């Protein structure tokens, strides 16, 4: 089955810096890659997703890139703000198996 590895487990940046979180997946059949943000004590919420027919997707300060050949995808946050502090989860899914497999999460801390 699918296995998703996520790095780093913790990331500390200064406000205004960029942050990059990387994930690798094992199943070449996976074709859907969402990212979820979980603020402290809250539920995970989808912030951006990408499908395998697209190499990059942007939404204001966040972007996701996908390299199908290398089987890795990354989340990029520019001009970080304290409210970006949260745990971020990547995930991968093969639509044929109807299962979403999550990474282990990255705790991002943005210091003012």
Determine if 26 is a binding residue for another protein (CB under 8 A). no
- Residue 99 CB, shortest distance to another protein, in Å, is 6
Nearer to another protein, 34 or 62 (CB): 34
Chain centroid, CA 97 distance in Å: 21
Determine if 53 is a binding residue for another protein (CB under 8 A). no
Determine if 32 is a binding residue for another protein (CB under 8 A). yes
Per CB under 8 A, the segment of 13-21, 28-36, 52-60, 69-77 that binds another protein is 28-36
Determine if 49 is a binding residue for another protein (CB under 8 A). yes
- Which pair of tokens denotes residue 104? 């282990």
Site for another protein in 68-107 (CB under 8 A): 89, 91, 93, 95, 98-105
Ordered DSSP codes for the chain: ---EEEE-SEEEEETT--EEEEEEES-TT--EEEEEEE-TTS--EEEEEEETT-SEEEETTEEEEEETTTTEEEEEE-S--GGG-EEEEEEEEETTTTEEEE---EEEEEE-
Which residues would be at the binding site for another protein (CB under 8 A)?
1, 6, 9, 32, 34, 36, 42-46, 49, 89, 91, 93, 95, 98-105
């Amino acid at each position: 089955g699918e296995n998703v590895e996520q790095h780093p487990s913790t990331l500390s940046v200064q406000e205004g810096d960029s942050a990059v979180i990387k994930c690798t997946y094992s199943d070449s059949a996976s074709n859907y890659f969402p990212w979820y943000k979980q603020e402290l004590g809250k539920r995970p919420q989808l912030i951006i997703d990408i499908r395998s027919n697209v190499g990059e997707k942007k939404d204001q300060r966040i972007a996701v890139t996908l390299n199908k050949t290398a089987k890795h995808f990354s989340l990029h946050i520019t001009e970080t703000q304290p409210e970006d502090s949260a745990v971020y989860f990547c995930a991968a899914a093969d639509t044929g198996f109807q299962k979403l497999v999550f990474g282990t999460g990255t705790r991002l801390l943005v210091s003012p």
